[in-house]
Amino acid sequence: MPLAQLLGRGRLLNIAIEGTYGTSQTAAAYSIRVERIETSAGVSRPQLRALGVGSKGFGSATYAEAKTISGSFTVRAHYDVDGLATLLRWALWGTYGTTGSGPYVHALSAGATRLGATLRWNTGEAIGGANDEAVTVVGAVCTSLQLSVSAPGVMDITCSFLGLTSTRSDTAHTLAAAASTDSPMLHHQGSTLAWNSITKKLASMQLVIDNALEGIAQIGDLGPADFVQSANLRTVVMTCEALDAGEGWTTAQVDGDVSDAVISFTDGTSTLALTVESAMLRDPVADIVTGPTAKRVSLVFVGTADDPLTVSLTNGNSTAEAA
């Protein structure tokens, strides 16, 4: 068996929202197939500096300054499996309200208190070989979540995180199997973008939730004791590219027009609906000339409401976070 196939065949990420922040959680855990995962855990070690030390560069010994745990992973978006609902709740610190009787509508309300998650995955062979290594990150907070899709293509989700503690073991985790991943969100399942009485088909869309989190440094602690928003501000930015047909984007940007920006993706009775609340064109509209007659525009929307993003999931699951 090729080495790449051996290493990748069993690769899953397991996520569980913590009941008590910073306490390892195993209940209500979901396994997600990942396209890419990376993490960094270690201590920064600057050199001590002083006049009269050393004969050349005045260098000296190093010291342990601060411990940091960070990482990111990318998964494909699905309407009802592979952890989409959990990842969105983790990013928005929210709760779901479910209505309907099949299909069910799951509306996500954002919260103000950061949610922690326990993340688990295996490295090495990860299928019972001698080179297995299990990684666990506890107290992981989502610093940003990005939904991105281009035509043609599949929607990807990229999450970046910081963590309180990280451990590694020579014994691989036993992770629940991931649900079927045969029906991802596709670009041609997307609706037009609706904003300010304009409806427009898009060539690409990237929506980023940025929680502006940073660690709290304290005397007596090598690593952060917790994480807070650096500016008490969550930002939601949606960047789109579309063919220009004289819709008046520049005038709307100069005038500071504000309107909800709405786009959805649908497959049968399953839907993901995204609304950037009270959106305005934050940046000047950029013209992109790609041919003799085709001109595209780059549009950067920012949500200006106190709760800048509304999310609604419709699928056949009676609970939002079904495995």
Measured CA to CA in angstroms, residue 9 lies from 33, 72, 79, 176 at distances of 10, 20, 23, 14
Answer whether 138's CB lies under 8 Å from 22's CB: yes
Q: Give pLDDT, residue 275.
A: 96
- Tokens 């910081």 found at: 162
Tally of domains within the chain: 1
Query: What angle (nearest 5°) sits at the alpha carbon of residue 86, between those of residues 312 and 227?
Result: 110
- Is 56 contained in some domain? no
- Is 53 contained in some domain? no
Q: What is the mean pLDDT of the chain?
A: 84
- Is 278 contained in some domain? yes
Omega before 224 within 30 of 0, i.e. cis: no
- Is 49 contained in some domain? no
- Is 57 contained in some domain? no
- Is 92 contained in some domain? yes
* Low pLDDT (below 50) residues in the chain: 1-7, 126
Residues constituting the chain:
323
**What SS3 state is found at 183?**
coil
Per-residue pLDDT reduced to its tens digit, 14-59: 999 999 998 998 877 888 888 888 888 777 777 777 666 666 665 6
Q: What is the rounded distance in angstroms from the CA atom of residue 65 to the CA atom of residue 161?
A: 21
Return the closest-CA partner of residue 237 out of 174, 124, 132, 147. 147
- Is 55 contained in some domain? no
Q: Give pLDDT, residue 173.
A: 83
Phi, psi of 7 (to 5 degrees): -75, -30
Domain that holds residue 128: 3-43+66-315
Q: Tell me the pTM.
A: 0.87
Q: How does 301-317 read in b/e, with b if 16+ C-beta sit within 10 Å?
A: bbbbeebbbbbbbbbeb
- Is 94 contained in some domain? yes
Q: What is the rounded distance in angstroms from the CA atom of residue 308 to the CA atom of residue 290?
A: 33
